[in-house]
Structure 1
């Protein structure tokens, strides 16, 4: 016999809502998310009396409605619908069905916007998606759909939005406009992609959706929301397969490798970068191949394997020199001198080679200053500060660290904030030095504001 959902019933009563009124609010909010719900009081009755659990984003919308009425945060577990745990698991799955992937992306977005998603980064989930993507890439390497229709206004509009949000991420940090991109993805991109289209248009839409899912994941990563980022990146990888775009899939694997390395999963970071390298060639995209190579070098540097890291870095630098950005996709635009030489500087930071840090960081910083890129500038300036610490030139390190604080204050990026925290930890033994005290005051003010 079905059990009544007393928790939901009590909260509806406390909120002073009728079943019909609650159903109408769910329908209205669903429409904002691109869903054509047709709930009425009988549906709510089934949820309450029979304990039925609606699928998709409905539990999230119920929590949002009740939270607003009651003036406190209501979670799915509070209404007897512990659906978020299953969403957290579903987000880690590389589904054989692209439609299921779209459902997962939509539900992740709704959960994020409504403040109802909180799941950890799961290291064990990294292997299967990269394996499945690589197998699919080998199967599709000889596939030829012919040239795609170009100039499709729907796809062009989505790509224009991608360019706008990527620019905001590069210049202002991942926490700046992510909620707006999630809303656009759920309200515009996913409903559009579900319509009937010609095969070339459908593939192009999957391609554009994969780019945006990747960008949301990258922005979440930069903002320190690693569980959410991991799930978006896995779903973006699956959409790149639906679009039969191996290069974009390799780009997603680069992002996954970068995140894994940052979180200390260095062996997994190497494996993810190498999976991407096995899936493409430099002729497919020199920018992507160079990026995967430099990220392989980053992870190997974290492991302290100087020989293998230098080999990967040499391959990366040679490939980087062949990039023709006019023939690269829009998302590859950031793989430029500011980014590439900054990553190289971080390799040598981990290998404790200060002269090489200075050489590559200087190239990155010059580009960052010309482009006014504060986030990348803060990371490259932090590398120079670490080079000074490695030389035991503490006054110079503290002076450079103050520049990192100034740049970080102008962006919304947890990676830049972490760079400030790393410098504080590294300079802690020198806390009696006046220049270090000045830096610590500035850093404490900054970190206190965002705590």
Structure 2
């Protein structure tokens, strides 16, 4: 015998909506989400209340209906219908903007609640193929605006953009693990609800741009904290929101983040393809900083693929693009694309090309800039690259000194990437055997890993 769904009954009673009216609202929401085959009646609603589980995607549609009614997010979890399809849906680049809003809001809520289904979700290899293609086609085609609806003011958007600056600086100086859940809660409470309201064309674009920026930052923070499945889902939804903003540079920036993640997780071919898609998308925009980043990430991918000549060429192209920074006004999200970052990533590319001289040159430039800015995470990662360049020259003493500086800086931030750089350095020291410096560094690295 089925157990009545008391949660669904609670929300239905609270809404004051009849079963017949709920059926009509579900049908209307299904049509808006391009799901024309969903057409329940009052009898079907009664079956759900009695404990029957509706088929996918009806739980998510019901959550969308109740969210619209109350003006705040009600999830499938709240309705007694499980966690819905949030984890899988967030990997989809949905043509429906309304569906996208519900998916990203569900993702944010699940992230804040730290629900197990999301933590256990896998990183999906090549999941960026469809989204990057769809974004690029949309950017080049410049498709029509969606219909505007009820009002959000530009002042509301300005408040959101001002918050972005604060959270971005938190990430840059403290690491992605320090503020992401706070940002996710802010997005759930203040930003994603705005997307459900109506706007004129100018506000619509600006709001989606701000939402895309902050959703990207959520993904980047998760990425920096080693939560790659969550990061991937935020980045894909950020790309979809960027499409609505018509900001090609912002979409290319999101693809840069996706490229970085793919290469880091062992798929440099996918990383290169995503970076190239971003560069093609910039045909309709002018952002030298973003272009420099995309070339930089392509260089990283090519270096791992073993194409040293193409990787060195990409580094040169990155430097040429960055030389034009300052000739146009760049967005706030491009603030981190600076000499500390670019030289650090170039150092890693040359490290992978086994060119220790060039790696050391770029690492030292990055370290110098990072020190002046008091950016511990970037400093740690570039010190690690410097240490590896010394190891490639068989200079253990210098590598150990740089490694100790890596450890000191890594302790100042909450960043899995900094910890991973330390772990990588530990492995690279192993060929030197039982040397006392190797043993000492390994012991300090274990302490850092345990603390993290």
TM-score past 0.5 threshold = yes
> Pick from 59, 75, 83: which aligns with 1:58?
75
Q: 1:402-450, CA deviations, whole angstroms, 9 ceiling, x for partnerless residues?
A: 1111111111111111001101111123242222222122111111112
Q: Which residue of structure 2 lines up, in the alignment, with residue 241 of structure 1? A: 243
Contact 1:300 1:308 survives alignment (8 Å): yes
**CA distance in structure 2 between the aligned counterparts of 1:45 and 1:362, rounded to whole angstroms:** 68
The answer for the alignment partner of 1:97 in structure 2 is 96
CA deviations 1:320-360 (Å, max 9, x no partner) are 11101861000001100100111110110100101001111
- Tell me what 2:108 maps to: 109
Contact 1:382 1:400 in 2 (8 A): yes
Give the equivalent residue in structure 1 for 2:408.
406
* Alpha-carbon contact 1:206-1:239 (below 8 Å) kept: yes
CA gap of 1:325–1:420, structure 2 versus 1, over 3 A, is: farther
With normalisation by structure 1, the TM-score equals: 0.83
Counterpart in the other structure of 1:4: 2
Matched residue, 2:68: none
Q: Which residue of 2 aligns with 1:194?
A: 196
1:170 to 166, 169, 172: 172
Quote the residue 1:441 is aligned against.
Answer: 443
Q: Quote the Cα distance in structure 2 between the aligned partners of 1:23 and 1:184.
A: 29
1:30-429 to structure 2, matched below 5 A, reads 49-52=50-53, 54-55=59-60, 56=63, 57-61=74-78, 81-84=81-84, 86-116=85-115, 117-118=118-119, 119-140=121-142, 152-281=154-283, 284-324=286-326, 327-429=329-431
Q: Distance in 1 between matches of 2:13 and 2:383?
A: 54
Q: Any conservation in 1 of the 2:9–2:49 contact (CA below 8 Å)? A: no
Cα distance, 1:412–1:61 mapped onto 2, change above 3 Å: farther
Deviations 1:65-102 (A, max 9, x none): xxxxxxxxxxxxxx7x4535x22211111111112111
Measured in 2, the distance between the counterparts of 1:282 and 1:197 equals 25
- Whole-Å separation in 1 of the counterparts to 2:390 and 2:13: 62
C-alpha distance 282-304 of structure 1, shift in aligned 2 (>3 A): farther
Unaligned runs of 5+ in 1: 13-17, 25-42, 63-78, 144-150
Q: How many residues align?
A: 397
- 8 Å contact 1:4–1:48 — kept in the other structure? no
- Name the SS for the 2:2 alignment partner: coil
* Pairwise CA distance, 1:47: 5.3
Tell me, yes or no, if the aligned pair for 1:341 and 1:360 is still in contact at 8 Å.
Answer: yes
Query: 1:447/1:45 Cα in 2 relative to 1: closer, same or farther (>3 Å)?
Result: farther
* Superposed displacement of residue 48, structure 1: 6.2
Is the 8 Å Cα contact of residues 282 and 319 (structure 1) preserved in structure 2?
Answer: no
**Which ranges of 4 or more aligned residues in structure 1 deviate by more than 6 Å?**
21-24, 43-46
Q: Structure 1 residues 407 and 46 mapped into 2: Cα distance closer, same or farther (>3 Å)?
A: farther
SS in 2 for 1:176: coil
